[in-house]
Copies of this chain bind each other. A is one copy, B any other.
Amino acid sequence: MGRIARIATPQMINALTTDLYQLTMAAGYWRAGLTEPATFELFVRRMPQRRAFLVAAGLENGLAYLEALRFTDEERGWLRQLPQFAHVPSAFFDEYLRSFSFTGSVSALPEGTPFFPGEPILRVTAPLPEAQLVETALLATVAFATNVASKAARVVRAAAGRPVIEFGARRAHGVGAALAAARAAFIGGCDGTSLVDAGRRYGIPTSGTMAHSWVQTFADEIDAFREFSQSFPDSAAYLLDTYDTLAATDKLIASGLKPAMVRLDSGEVISLSREVRARLDSAGLTATRIFATGDLDEYRIATIVAAQAPIDGFGVGTALSTVNDAPALSAVYKLVEVHRHGASTGVIKQSPGKHTWPCPKQVWRIVENGRATRDVIAGIGEPAPSGGVALLHTVMERGRTIAPSPSATVSRDESRRALALLPERLRALDAAADFPVSITESLEQARLTASRYDQT
């Protein structure tokens, strides 16, 4: 599968996929001659409730956006007629935006990397107007995928080795979100998706066989099951709850079919699964697996697993595709360094509850005896701490990606390996534990300097 097929570069993302203030500021920077490089960092302010780690995702689509970024004549024409731009010189549209592209460099956590609030997951250094303009689309792309991958890691953990399939396309925030969620959930550890296009684009295994409508179409469930088996003798998962789960189980057994799988989508799945299992076993259908779906999340799955219900796999929808307990990450993209008078200067923001740290940063994960013990956030020029593994890697230079992004499958494997290095207590569902993240003395000093600088 080629790179083109894997990357979603929808028509709907374009140079106007940004907040208006990015364009007014770009015009202002351009007019003021502020086109020297600046550095922004994308990070998450606070951990969502009950989480103890996050998993980075969305980088591939973010980079594809940066590489393709251009203004069409139509877009420039539309912009310049906005009343807000009445006093902006024509050259901004006719010259600057006409030849505009993203020419900067990007460092990022590889997709699948576990990380913590305050740690940059993406660092952009580019001429100030370029670095500014891309904020909106980068945040929307990276934060959503990261949120889904982080949720998926929890759901997969709860399932304790049973397969988890992402089934959430219909509840996603539109079809673009559905596609991004399927990919991110897979990177976060899911085993497949129901979304066919995610299978085609990203090589994710696809699952699904029948809905209630199939069963309703036939006057009797047994006819529905038999007819389905004609086309899908090996892969059918017979849906049992359209009318009465146990009656459907008996009909399926009576049909003489040898179902690979049955699916429970409603009712008390713990008790139902036991009864269905017992009836299947009595009929000699010991190889038939039971798959559960319907408003599942990590907590519900943990309950089912703890009850030792005979359920062999889970389909999870809304909880994955909308991250319904924390649908927005507090992800921000903040200016940390500008050039003033030819010299780089770390900058900060002091708004209540929204402080930032100055200067471009690296995140070091300290690995001791095969275990990750703490992270250190340092300035990019600082030496590596002992045992430190650098988490941010350069992925784009002068506006071009410097290597193909790994496939979703590779990112998923890397994620599993990196998660296994974290302390076990961090991966509990109601994580009380915090992973230690410290900031170097040098960055603390830079913050004080930046602070004093502004107060003058």
Quick one: copies of this chain in the complex?
2
Comparing A130-138, A382-390, A393-401, A421-429, the segment that makes contact with chain B is A130-138
Q: How far is the CA of A253 from the CA of B350 in the complex (A)?
A: 21
Q: Report B-chain residues with C-beta under 8 Å of the C-beta of A25.
A: 210-211, 213-214
Q: Is A79 an interface residue (CB 8 A)?
A: yes
Q: Report B-chain residues with C-beta under 8 Å of the C-beta of A24.
A: 208-210, 231-232
Q: How far is the CA of A22 from the CA of B167 in the complex (A)?
A: 12
Comparing A27-35, A103-111, A153-161, A304-312, the segment that makes contact with chain B is A27-35
Q: How far is the CA of A456 from the CA of B222 in the complex (A)?
A: 12
Residues of chain A from 218 to 234 with CB closer than 8 A to chain B in the complex: 219-220, 227-228, 230-234
Q: Report B-chain residues with C-beta under 8 Å of the C-beta of A40.
A: 213
* Contact between A84 and B174, CB atoms less than 8 A apart: no
Q: Is A242 an interface residue (CB 8 A)?
A: yes
* Contact between B174 and A141, CB atoms less than 8 A apart: yes
Q: How far is the CA of A14 from the CA of B179 in the complex (A)?
A: 11
Comparing A332-340, A362-370, A371-379, A405-413, the segment that makes contact with chain B is A332-340
Q: Is A190 an interface residue (CB 8 A)?
A: no
Q: How far is the CA of A8 from the CA of B175 in the complex (A)?
A: 11
* Contact between A181 and B173, CB atoms less than 8 A apart: yes
Q: Is A96 an interface residue (CB 8 A)?
A: no
* Contact between A351 and B212, CB atoms less than 8 A apart: yes
Distance in angstroms from A394 CB to nearest chain B CB is 23
Residues of chain A from 167 to 188 with CB closer than 8 A to chain B in the complex: 167, 169-181
* Contact between A170 and B78, CB atoms less than 8 A apart: no
Which of B14, B216, B242 has a CB less than 8 Å from the CB of A338?
A: B216
Please give the number of chain A residues whose Cβ is less than 8 angstroms from any Cβ of chain B in the complex: 118
Distance in angstroms from A436 CB to nearest chain B CB is 28
Q: Is A453 an interface residue (CB 8 A)?
A: yes
Comparing A113-121, A277-285, A321-329, A437-445, the segment that makes contact with chain B is A321-329
Which of B10, B219, B324, B340 has a CB less than 8 Å from the CB of A219?
A: B340
Distance in angstroms from A276 CB to nearest chain B CB is 15
Q: Is A301 an interface residue (CB 8 A)?
A: no
* Contact between B21 and A195, CB atoms less than 8 A apart: no
Q: How far is the CA of A38 from the CA of B233 in the complex (A)?
A: 26
Q: Report B-chain residues with C-beta under 8 Å of the C-beta of A266.
A: 351-354
* Contact between A324 and B328, CB atoms less than 8 A apart: yes
* Contact between B174 and A180, CB atoms less than 8 A apart: yes
Q: Is A19 an interface residue (CB 8 A)?
A: yes
Q: How far is the CA of A242 from the CA of B350 in the complex (A)?
A: 6
Which of B8, B16, B174, B244 has a CB less than 8 Å from the CB of A177?
A: B174
Which of A175, A211, A217, A454 is most buried by chain B, counting CB atoms within 10 A of its CB? A175
Q: Is A252 an interface residue (CB 8 A)?
A: no
Q: Is A243 an interface residue (CB 8 A)?
A: yes
Q: Report B-chain residues with C-beta under 8 Å of the C-beta of A16.
A: 196-197, 199-200
Residues of chain A from 35 to 87 with CB closer than 8 A to chain B in the complex: 38, 40, 75, 78-79, 82-84, 86-87
Q: Report B-chain residues with C-beta under 8 Å of the C-beta of A349.
A: 212, 216, 242-243
Q: How far is the CA of A176 from the CA of B453 in the complex (A)?
A: 41
Q: How far is the CA of A200 from the CA of B347 in the complex (A)?
A: 34
* Contact between B140 and A351, CB atoms less than 8 A apart: no
A87-B232, A231-B24 as given contacts; A169 in contact with B140, CB under 8 Å: yes
* Contact between A194 and B322, CB atoms less than 8 A apart: no
Report A's interface with B, CB cutoff 8 A.
Answer: 8-14, 16-25, 27-29, 31-32, 34, 38, 40, 75, 78-79, 82-84, 86-88, 128, 132, 135-137, 139-141, 143-145, 167, 169-181, 194-197, 199-200, 206-214, 216-217, 219-220, 227-228, 230-235, 241-244, 265-267, 318, 322-324, 327-329, 331, 333-335, 338, 340, 347-354, 453-456
Enumerate 14 A-B pairs (CB-CB under 8 Å) in ascending A order: A10-B176, A17-B195, A20-B199, A21-B209, A28-B232, A32-B230, A40-B213, A128-B217, A144-B172, A144-B173, A172-B173, A219-B340, A266-B354, A267-B351
Given contacts A31-B231, A265-B351, 19 further A-B contacts (CB under 8 A): A9-B11, A19-B169, A19-B195, A20-B208, A25-B213, A28-B210, A28-B231, A79-B196, A140-B169, A174-B174, A213-B335, A217-B347, A219-B453, A219-B454, A219-B456, A220-B456, A266-B351, A266-B352, A322-B327
